[in-house]
Copies of this chain bind each other. A is one copy, B any other.
């Protein structure tokens, strides 16, 4: 359905109600009608107007829901629209580099239409056989995070023993597959038997286990890694990190991508066995994909090509309708999603 330029529409939006402390809940956000919006980019603004198609639910967004200004992420403003990565279609443009019909991915609002004043925060997508929603998943920030985390931080070698937590998630599932293609032995952890099944039977992990069914994570890791772990791709923090420190090998590497189990900034679980970092000479390194943007073109080429050759699979969990956004986002923190969580606002 084409948009009629200049028409004034209601613009449904997802609003953050107020700052949060613990894990995000569906009720922390609400659907509202925004101000009436004219489907037009103001003349002379250099802006363009997009219709949002797919919105990305990413754990990092929790950090913007807190009243904490010491991070690289600026907090959302309570009462204002939530922002995040999305795939959108240009409806009207006052910017010569973007024209109506262009598909773009990048930074947008959790709303039906967004007026984009910072075009540098989006890039054009050349539609081909790759599903559009993948540009916020496999070929978007999560996929790129997996790519730079694995190749640039983990220093992988053939035959390394690799452990990935939150392994069926947006990032983890690609890390595991890249590690397999690299010749590593790969085990993933996840929180349901269905996810464990997908890891083993669809994503090609050598082994996988449900951490919720393991009363003793140390024992579980010893079972799956009798020779120890060379590389840990850290997505969860807390007890799993402690168990890994007991099982990491000499000169092991821990790429710290996320710590999704640590919901609260005021009382996170302490890691009590960091001493292993010395005795095993471990390198533990946090990273953000945004430090590696020079590698993005190579990533798109590499991973896009692997996908087209059928060497890589990507699991998505798509919830329908903007109104499903708060529930979909909150679900990330209880592991409700199976694969990359996407909100479909409109199909085209």
A contact residues vs B (CB 8 Å cutoff): 63, 71-73, 237, 241, 250, 256-259, 262, 265, 267-288, 291
Which chain B residue has the least Cβ–Cβ distance from A238? B274
Separation in Å of the A31 CB from the closest CB of chain B? 30
Query: Contact between A283 and B283 (Cβ–Cβ < 8 Å)?
Result: yes
Separation in Å of the A263 CB from the closest CB of chain B? 11
Query: Contact between B268 and A272 (Cβ–Cβ < 8 Å)?
Result: yes
* A316 to B153 alpha-carbon distance, docked (Å): 40
Query: Contact between A279 and B72 (Cβ–Cβ < 8 Å)?
Result: yes
User: What are the 3 A-B residue pairs with the smallest beta carbon separation, nearest first?
Assistant: A270-B270, A277-B286, A278-B286
**Chain B residue contacts of A269, Cβ below 8 A:** 270, 272
Query: Contact between B284 and A285 (Cβ–Cβ < 8 Å)?
Result: yes
Chain copies in the assembly?
A: 2
* A288 to B251 alpha-carbon distance, docked (Å): 11
14 of the cross-chain contacts (CB-CB < 8 Å) are A63-B279, A71-B279, A241-B274, A257-B278, A267-B272, A271-B271, A271-B272, A276-B286, A277-B284, A281-B287, A281-B288, A283-B284, A283-B285, A283-B286
Separation in Å of the A212 CB from the closest CB of chain B? 22
Query: Contact between A282 and B275 (Cβ–Cβ < 8 Å)?
Result: no
Separation in Å of the A266 CB from the closest CB of chain B? 10
* A278 to B275 alpha-carbon distance, docked (Å): 19
Q: A270-B271, A283-B283 are in contact. Are A278 and B258 (CB under 8 A)?
A: yes
Of A250, A268, A286, chain B has the most CB atoms within 10 Å of the CB of A286
* A277 to B71 alpha-carbon distance, docked (Å): 11
**Chain B residue contacts of A262, Cβ below 8 A:** 275
